[in-house]
Amino acid sequence: MPHPSLRGQLIPFSPIRTMFRLADEMERAGGGPVFRLHVGDPDFAPPASVIEATAAALRTGKTHYA
């Protein structure tokens, strides 16, 4: 199996990969369903309040992470 280059080894581990690993571990351990909300596209619309809050934030220029 090929090994990553030195430069590739310096890339920090993605936190989302931790979420995948934790979800897998919880699923294997049993004890209840694991809802994988960290991936995919939901098959339902967001609540109207979320849509309105998003639109208001966009209108007022609140488009950055922090």
Q: Count other C-beta atoms under 10 Å from residue 53's C-beta.
A: 13
Domain count, the chain: 1
**Alpha-carbon radius of gyration of the chain:** 19
Does some domain include residue 1? Answer: no
Task: Output 38 or 54, whichever has higher pLDDT.
Answer: 54
Q: What does the pLDDT look like over 10-52, one tens digit per residue?
A: 998 888 888 889 889 999 999 888 888 777 777 889 999 999 9
Does some domain include residue 65? Answer: no
Contact criterion met (CB below 8 Å) for 38 and 21: no
Domain that holds residue 16: 6-59
Task: Output 55 or 66, whichever has higher pLDDT.
Answer: 55
Residue 53 confidence (pLDDT): 96
Does some domain include residue 64? Answer: no
Does some domain include residue 45? Answer: yes
Does some domain include residue 34? Answer: yes
Does some domain include residue 21? Answer: yes
